[in-house]
């Protein structure tokens, strides 16, 4: 019998990240200030360390992973890649399906790949504390884990409704020594302003970002850290795709299709970019599919334009597919996919037709998640369950067309903190959200104009 788990030894851990900016056959649109003029990287100095800013604008093809970061990666990397034999048999598909699993990290997702690097560079440059925001808690727990390992403090502004409804991620962050505050807080000007308007304000990711950025900008030894969207975050995540390429080589396969879910774009990019590199060179034909929820259909229904990264308008304007920075998506269970825009690097590839995008409804996504859990065993997080739905559709198409394709996808995290979502699905209480076109038009009408 051939192998189910395709494993690499620690010696095979990639020692460099791959920077797709070096290979793009088009130029990237620069970030803009509120006046519509390009902003240079120096604008980021009050909240990011030099090395991160350098990486954000770098066009070097590969960037060395520091020894200290590799040492921490070795706690769970290289991560396993699996051949999904039982899922293939269940679907009666001639396709070969492979998934790379990031749920083996201490925080249970791919997010520590960048959290560890960001904490390291900050500590190198004398930063004492990192402030950040978190919604459901995936990013906050990854950063809390990373800061603790490098002896740094970590303050997490956690959206108040999540803080109250989802205590387990908060406890996880506190276990790693982070300070977790229900946002809005009375500690920042942004928080006090919200509380003055509504003392019972439930909070939002936009408000939490504003609080964390203000904390960093007003304290010399405090920096800010972002878990997705920006170029350096996607860069750090490519360690996954670089490993996956070696793992495909080991079994003598190469994917015809790679699939990942997209919230801000970091797990999709980290997995797919090293393969897309081959496509950009013309060396391989490959379909890369980004999967999103119909409740927040940025790549499939958004417009490609400049928009703010946050709800309050503190960040520079980024060129991306967006539904408008004031857009508040319905409360689907895949909290990590509720972002109004997407990473500029991912959006550029979509615009230039190097990648495709599809959107799925919440119930069909959970149906796919159950099929996966009942064949492969691992209970997926609601976010990568979107990728699973797409993989199942492609594998069924292979059966219908009698095609033996190779399909790879990233299982970005486990769903063991998301069991209430499974409970809702199993008891028939899960709802679908298809965003009506008029709501999308309304959101888009509020976009900034120049």
Ligand X SMILES: *Cc1c(COP(=O)(O)O)cnc(C)c1O
What residues make contact with ligand X under the rule CB under 6 A? 109, 111, 138, 228, 261-267, 336-337, 381, 383-384, 412-413
Nearest residue to 233 via CA among 157, 309, 151: 309
Q: Which is nearer to ligand X, 262 or 391 (CB)?
A: 262
Nearest residue to 130 via CA among 115, 152, 112, 114: 152
Cross-strand partners of 332: none
**Beta carbons of 180 and 204 less than 8 angstroms apart:** no
| Calpha distance 76→144 (Å, rounded) | 17
Q: What is the DSSP string of 258-281?
A: EEEE-SSSHHHHHHHHHHHHHHHT
Q: Which is nearer to ligand X, 263 or 348 (CB)?
A: 263
Q: How far is the CB of 267 from ligand X (least distance, A)?
A: 3
Integer Rg of the chain from CA: 21
Q: How far is the CB of 165 from ligand X (least distance, A)?
A: 17
Q: Which residues contact 368 (CB under 8 A, 6 or more apart)?
A: 385, 388, 389, 392
Q: How far is the CB of 112 from ligand X (least distance, A)?
A: 10
Strand blocks (E) in 23-152: 62-64, 81-83, 96-101, 129-134
Q: Which is nearer to ligand X, 311 or 381 (CB)?
A: 381
Q: How far is the CB of 8 from ligand X (least distance, A)?
A: 21
Q: How far is the CB of 286 from ligand X (least distance, A)?
A: 20
Provide the residue count of the chain: 450
| Calpha distance 414→416 (Å, rounded) | 6
Q: Which is nearer to ligand X, 255 or 336 (CB)?
A: 336
| Calpha distance 41→50 (Å, rounded) | 9
Q: How far is the CB of 22 from ligand X (least distance, A)?
A: 21
Identify whether 247 is preceded by a cis peptide bond (ω within 30 of 0).
no
Q: How far is the CB of 409 from ligand X (least distance, A)?
A: 12
Q: Which is nearer to ligand X, 182 or 336 (CB)?
A: 336
Q: Which is nearer to ligand X, 109 or 362 (CB)?
A: 109
Q: Which is nearer to ligand X, 73 or 409 (CB)?
A: 409
Q: How far is the CB of 278 from ligand X (least distance, A)?
A: 22
Q: Which tokens go with 28?
A: 């990237």
For the stretch 156-166, what's the b/e string if a residue is b when 16 or more beta carbons lie within 10 angstroms of its beta carbon? bbbbbbbbeeb
Question: Pairing state of beta strands 129-134 and 153-159?
Answer: parallel
Q: Which is nearer to ligand X, 323 or 381 (CB)?
A: 381
Q: How far is the CB of 344 from ligand X (least distance, A)?
A: 13
CA 109 to chain CA centroid, nearest Å:
9
If one counts every other C-beta atom within 10 angstroms of the C-beta of residue 189, the result is: 11
Maximum distance among all alpha carbons in the chain? 65
Q: Which is nearer to ligand X, 73 or 95 (CB)?
A: 73
Q: Which is nearer to ligand X, 115 or 312 (CB)?
A: 115
Classify 395 as helix, strand or coil: helix
| Calpha distance 195→160 (Å, rounded) | 12
Q: How far is the CB of 282 from ligand X (least distance, A)?
A: 27
């Amino acid at each position: 019998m051939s192998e189910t788990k395709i494993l690499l030894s620690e010696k095979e851990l990639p020692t460099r990240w791959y920077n797709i900016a070096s290979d793009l056959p088009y130029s990237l649109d620069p970030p803009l200030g509120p006046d519509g003029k390009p902003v240079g990287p120096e604008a980021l100095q009050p909240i990011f360390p030099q090395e991160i800013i350098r990486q954000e604008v770098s066009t070097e093809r590969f960037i060395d992973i520091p020894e200290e970061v590799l040492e921490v990666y070795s706690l769970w990397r290289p991560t396993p890649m699996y051949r999904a034999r039982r899922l293939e048999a269940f679907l009666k598909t001639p396709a070969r399906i492979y998934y790379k699993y990031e749920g083996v990290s201490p925080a249970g997702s791919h997010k520590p790949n960048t959290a560890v690097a960001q904490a390291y560079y900050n500590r190198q440059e004398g930063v004492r504390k990192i402030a950040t925001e978190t919604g459901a808690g995936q990013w906050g727990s990854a950063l809390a884990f990373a800061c603790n390992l490098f002896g740094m403090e970590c303050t997490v502004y956690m959206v108040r409704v999540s803080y109250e409804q989802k205590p387990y991620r908060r406890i996880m962050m506190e276990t790693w020594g982070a300070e977790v505050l229900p946002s809005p807080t009375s500690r920042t000007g942004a928080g006090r302003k919200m509380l003055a308007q509504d003392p019972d304000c439930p909070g939002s990711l936009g408000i939490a970002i504003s609080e964390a950025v203000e904390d960093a900008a007003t304290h010399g030894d405090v920096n800010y850290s972002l878990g997705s969207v920006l170029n350096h975050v996607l860069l750090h995540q490519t360690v996954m795709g670089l490993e996956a390429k070696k793992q495909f080589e080991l079994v003598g396969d190469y994917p015809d299709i790679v699939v990942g879910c997209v919230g801000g774009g970091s797990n999709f990019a980290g997995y797919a970019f090293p393969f897309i590199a081959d496509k950009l060179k013309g060396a391989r034909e490959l379909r890369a599919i980004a999967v999103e929820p119909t409740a927040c259909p940025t790549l499939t229904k958004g417009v490609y334009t400049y928009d703010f990264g946050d709800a309050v308008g503190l960040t520079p304007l980024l060129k991306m597919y967006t539904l408008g920075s004031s857009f508040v998506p319905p409360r689907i269970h895949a909290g990590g996919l509720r972002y109004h825009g997407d990473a500029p690097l991912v959006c550029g590839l979509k615009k230039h037709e190097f990648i495709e995008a599809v959107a799925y409804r919440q119930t069909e996504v959970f149906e796919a998640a159950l099929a996966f859990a009942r064949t492969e065993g691992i209970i997926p997080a609601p976010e990568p369950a979107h990728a699973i739905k797409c993989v199942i559709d492609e594998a069924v198409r292979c059966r219908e067309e009698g095609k033996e394709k190779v399909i790879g996808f990233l299982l970005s995290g486990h769903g063991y903190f998301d069991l209430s979502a499974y409970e809702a699905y199993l008891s028939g209480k899960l709802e679908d959200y298809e965003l009506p076109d008029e709501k999308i038009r309304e959101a888009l009408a509020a976009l900034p104009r120049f």
